[in-house]
Structure 1
Amino acid sequence: MLRWLIVLVAAVVPALSGVTAGHAAPPDVSDQDKAFLVGAHQDNLAEIQGGQIAERQAGKQSVRDAGRKFVEDHTSLDDQLKRVAKKLGVDLPSRPSEEQQAELRKFAAKGGTAFDRMWIGAQVEDHRKTLDFLDKEVSTGSSPEVKNLARDAKPVVREHLDLVTSIQSGE
């Protein structure tokens, strides 16, 4: 009877604590880390969709090329982010925020030079904000994996900002 009780306790306690035969439960993820993952994912989705619109509707080849680059880079960044979110048990939304969707609709309604000016101006502002968002996560986030995502994304976002700033100054 005692042996049976010991076996039962040995089986039940790890299950109740989230640990099973050699597998640790996902580490705790702060609300800030979760918000970062959700926000960064939505930013990536918006950049991918905006880049696709730029590829179709931009007037200048440089803007179409920037759109294609954004699609490629943000798809790659988002693939990494989704892997970390899954590992940490963070659910991600399936589309950009309502505000981002409204901005995408505005882009979709424009074409040529009008599109170029609107999209490039928005990209300069958005990428500056994104750098601040990444810096905040790197300096005050709690999950090393999420902080690494933010740290790894910074050079890509900086490159995008430099690209759109140079396009803007060339107008």
Structure 2
Amino acid sequence: MRSRYFVTGTSLLIGSVVVTLGVIMSPALTGVQQETKANLAKTDSTPYGPLTGADKDFVVKVRLAGLWEFPSGELALKKGTTSAVKTAGEHLIVGHAQLDAAVRNIAPKLGVQLPNKPTPQQQGFLDTLTAATGKDFDSRMAQILRITHGQIFSAIAKIRAASKNTLVRQLATQANTVVLDHITQMENTGMVDYASLPGQITATPTQGPDFTKPVMPRPGEPMVVLKAPPSLAGKGEAPTPSPPAPVDDTPSASPATPAVP
């Protein structure tokens, strides 16, 4: 399959092309540098409601997730040894193509700059999967993607519950559906080692803050677009969720005054 995603070489890795799970798993799995409380507390005014630092951080996280999980799905289609692994790959490609389209649509409206490359940590995930073959690839893909999706899942819920920005809430609702679907797909492979999940999720990072820092594009650099190929039309779709509770999409509007009988 011809990839629509360009990845850099192995120069971002420290020491080796193959990064083991024991090294790469950390609380920063979402690939975004830990922000200070002061930065996250900053709030901007937008036509779609207040935009906090946490809201901006979330928008960038969604973009970063696609920049390495989309090509991970391509690897699954190419290297997976079971139909379940290949199906999981389809869901990764389609789900993140849809999320990427959404995040590229709202980012300029909110004044959020998006990265074009995965973080060094995320590139480590990709290089690990690129180097793996056979059943080793299947198990590594399922475990790495299950851990990362499991961690971001709770972060999405917090943003959806707390954000007062209409566009961010909509993105969080969509991301919640996609991530839950991807968790399910990883579990459906039968390759997830549940016993080791807690330890891998809470392992202490040793690579420093730059390991999870977004790399922003240079001025004039074309934006990377994640687009599912036509061959996946009708495949890889997340199940349609139950309709969410209605929300007020016009933050500036005041409640209507009841008519007097």
- What TM bracket, shorter-length normalisation? 0.7 to 0.9
Give the secondary-structure state (helix, strand or coil) at the position aligned to 2:75.
helix
Map of 2:131 onto structure 1: 109
CA distance in 2, matches of 1:169, 1:29: 39
Asked whether the equivalents of residues 149 and 182 of structure 2 are also in contact (C-alpha less than 8 Å), the reply is: yes
Map of 1:29 onto structure 2: 51
Map 1:1-171; keep pairs closer than 5 Å: 28-168=50-190
CA distance in 1, matches of 2:76, 2:68: 12
CA distance in 2, matches of 1:60, 1:29: 43
CA distance in 1, matches of 2:116, 2:82: 31
Deviations 1:105-156 (A, max 9, x none): 0000011100000000112111111211211211222322112211122122
Larger radius of gyration: 1
Give the secondary-structure state (helix, strand or coil) at the position aligned to 1:135.
helix
Q: More deviation in 158-167 or 31-40? A: 158-167
Letter in 1 for 2:89: G
Structure richer in helix, relative to its length: 1
Asked whether the equivalents of residues 55 and 159 of structure 2 are also in contact (C-alpha less than 8 Å), the reply is: yes
Letter in 2 for 1:30: T
CA distance in 1, matches of 2:154, 2:86: 26
CA distance in 2, matches of 1:169, 1:38: 29
CA distance in 1, matches of 2:68, 2:114: 14
Alpha-carbon distance, 1:66 to partner: 1.2
Letter in 2 for 1:117: S
**Structure 1 pair 80/117, CA: closer, same or farther in 2 (3 Å)?**
same
Deviations 1:23-65 (A, max 9, x none): x878652111111111111011111011111111112122122
Asked whether the equivalents of residues 159 and 169 of structure 2 are also in contact (C-alpha less than 8 Å), the reply is: yes
CA distance in 1, matches of 2:82, 2:122: 23
Structure 1: unaligned runs, 5 residues or longer:
1-23
**Structure 1 pair 156/26, CA: closer, same or farther in 2 (3 Å)?**
closer
Give the secondary-structure state (helix, strand or coil) at the position aligned to 2:51.
coil
Structure 2: unaligned runs, 5 residues or longer:
1-45, 194-261
Query: Taking structure 2 as the reference length, what is the TM-score of the superposition?
Result: 0.53
**Structure 1 pair 29/102, CA: closer, same or farther in 2 (3 Å)?**
same
**Structure 1 pair 25/144, CA: closer, same or farther in 2 (3 Å)?**
closer
CA distance in 1, matches of 2:163, 2:79: 38
Q: More deviation in 161-170 or 35-44? A: 161-170
Percent of pairs with identical residues: 26
